[in-house]
Structure 1
Amino acid sequence: MSNSDPLEHFVAPYDDSVSFDELPDAPPTTGYRPSIMGWIGITVAVFWLAVALIGPFIAPYGENALPFPDAYSEFQSPRSGAWLGTDVEDRDVLSRIMFGAGRTIGISLSATLLAYLTGVVLGIGAAVSGPRVDMAMSRINDAFLSLPTIMLGLVVVAAVGSSIPVLIVTAGLIYASVVFRLSRAIGMEIMVMDFVEAAKVRGEGRWWIITREIWPNARMPLITDFGLRLIYVILFISSLSFLGLGVQPPKADWGSMVRDNLGALQYGGSIISVVAPALAIASLTVGINLIVDDVSAHGGGKLSKRM
């Protein structure tokens, strides 16, 4: 009778030449490569950002200067010396668009950053806290979400007064509620993952879980949503200015320029003074939206679903 193990025929012999690589900590990722539409969006966004930064230094005239002081006439058509014509006060439209770009983009970007700083901190904090804290924070946030954004902004600005700091804080806090809901949803989704449960079993603290587990996985959808939120804030600030509660004259921003020059449509003047700032708003928002769509498509469509 043979003393050999009967299972030896079913066990593959060990081969020292075979090596096994360790599994990666996360699925491999590839760098973002913009498509043609993505490059168009990037070009438009970079163009307006450059105008916002250096526009006041290269503008043909001052913000409230009159290009033709000896021949005053409102709503002049484009011509040499005023390539986009003049507005209701005979001011150069091109120069005011270049000055207004800094305020429109600067206020909107600052408000969006404030919204994300507040919303992400509170949203992820609610996701990692206990159910009672999460419930209380979520119900308070739902109360803010039930209020129309424009109406709430009008009430706050009308009560406190219109200034650039007030516009930034108002828009930032209004849109922080939306960011809170998104970041909390993403955080709750990640908190039930196996790798987070494993971290809890190892005894890792909340701060470690937030910085090492939640944020690396939530970063991409939140950054993508930042672009969408910036679009909404730009339109919100422009709407307030159009209603007369945004940037106050004689300072220029794109929304107030549309409002101030509506007379060109009524009295047969050159409508370029209305169309030019409106096209500036539209082109910037479309450019940012192209970038957001391209990044979402690069992520296989998962980002748009999660947002």
Structure 2
Amino acid sequence: MSGEALSDVPPPRRRRRWPLLGLLGGAIVVFWLAMAFLGGLVAPHDAGRIVDMDVFTPMTAAFPLGTDYLGRDMLSRILHGTRYTVGVALAATLLASGSGLVLGMAAATRGGWTDLVLSRCLDTLSAMPSKMFALVVVAAFGSSVPVLVLAAGIIYTPGAYRIARSLAVGIAAMDYVRVARARGEGTAYILREEILPNMTGPVLADFGLRFVFIVLLLSGLSFLGLGVQPPNADWGSLVRENIGGLAEGAPAVLMPALAIASLTIGVNLLIDNLGGFRRRGGEGA
């Protein structure tokens, strides 16, 4: 066979090999996201129903995660609480990352006074300790779900802004952006077609990290009694209300803490392996 014929043979396709830890993290995240929507449907009992006269019972076939300090099924309580832990944190993360992305790209492309004013204002906001700011907001406006979402979103907007602005400034200096400007493309086109697509990976990674931070912040507020209020409960509230069973190692206090840990670990594993997913996906194309 001639060299010309050999050159026409396409290279063998490589099999896609997804990162194992990334798949594990993705499975954990998908599971908890599904429970945020379906937890109330698959829970064996109502969240507030007392199902056993004994309190802090160990794990049994009837109650796989034991019972709490009132004799309620902990599996049902955790599944019902997922919508508050995951839902509130996800809404706050979307608010923080979305606001930071929009403001960061505006500052990077407009420059001048726009950049200066936005950067100084958000730097001032980021100088305040996050938990102290949240405590002040909750004390002033009460502890409702909208207030928690707004407070957490405002707290983490400056960090998202700095990441987005840094990425946008770097990309705006690239040759292909200069070429787009030279041929007369407007700012909206450059943001949509040139800058934003090249920011997707880092912005998604930052979104995941910000989600973890907000989960821990909201769980901490709930543990202090300033988060989601009864009769509703998130995982932080479940740890606080069952803290009396810690001395005897009751599952009622350990399982909500393990749920928080599993969610944060799963998100971190997924974030750490995002690059592996994209790289291996490109090789198999």
Normalised by the size of structure 2, how large is the TM-score? 0.89
Structure richer in helix, relative to its length: 2
Output aligned runs, 1:273-292, within 5 Å.
273-292=252-271
Tell me which residue corresponds to 1:257.
238
Report the counterpart of residue 55 of structure 2 in structure 1: 74
Specify every segment of 5 or more residues in structure 1 that has no aligned partner in the other structure, as ranges: 1-29, 301-307
Further displaced range: 31-40 or 83-92: 31-40
Q: Which amino acid aligns with 1:92?
A: D
Q: Alpha-carbon deviations, 1:227-279, whole Å to 9, x = none?
A: 1111111111111111111001121210000011111124x3x5211110000
Which of 27, 32, 36 matches 1:52? 36
Matched residue, 1:123? 104
How far 1:296 sits from its partner (Å)?
3.4
CA distance in 1, matches of 2:116, 2:75: 51
How far 1:142 sits from its partner (Å)? 0.5
Question: Corresponding residue for 1:293?
Answer: 272
Paired residue type of 1:40 = L
Residue 33 of structure 1 and its aligned partner are, at CA, apart by: 5.6
List aligned pairs for 1:185-196, cutoff 5 A.
Answer: 185-196=166-177
Output the aligned Cα RMSD: 1.8
Name the CA shift for 1:46/1:170 in 2 (closer, same or farther; >3 Å): same
Report percent identity of matched pairs: 45
Count of aligned pairs between the two proteins = 266
Distance in 2, matches of 1:217 and 1:137, equals 23
Runs of 4+ in 1 over 6 A off after TM superposition: none
SS of 1:34 mapped into structure 2? coil
Once the two structures are TM-superposed, the CA of residue 85 in structure 1 deviates from its matched residue by: 1.2
Could you tell me whether the CA contact under 8 Å between 1:32 and 1:295 is conserved in 2? no
* One-letter amino acid of the counterpart of residue 79, structure 1: T
Distance 1:31 1:249, change over 3 A: farther
Q: 2: CA distance between counterparts of 1:142 and 1:275?
A: 38
Out of 214, 224, 235, the residue aligned to residue 195 of structure 2 is 214
2:19 is matched with 35
1:192 deviates by 1.1
TM-score, with structure 1 as normaliser: 0.83
Amino acid at match of 1:35: P
Unaligned segments of structure 2, at least 5 residues: 1-13, 280-285
Which residue number in structure 1 is paired with residue 251 of structure 2? 272
Q: How big is the shift at 1:130?
A: 2.6
1:63 paired residue number: 47
Q: Give the Cα–Cα distance (whole angstroms) in 2 for the partners of residues 47 and 212 of structure 1.
A: 34
- Distance, in Å, in 2 between the alignment partners of 1:32 and 1:206 is 38
CA contact (8 A) 2:57 2:250 kept: no
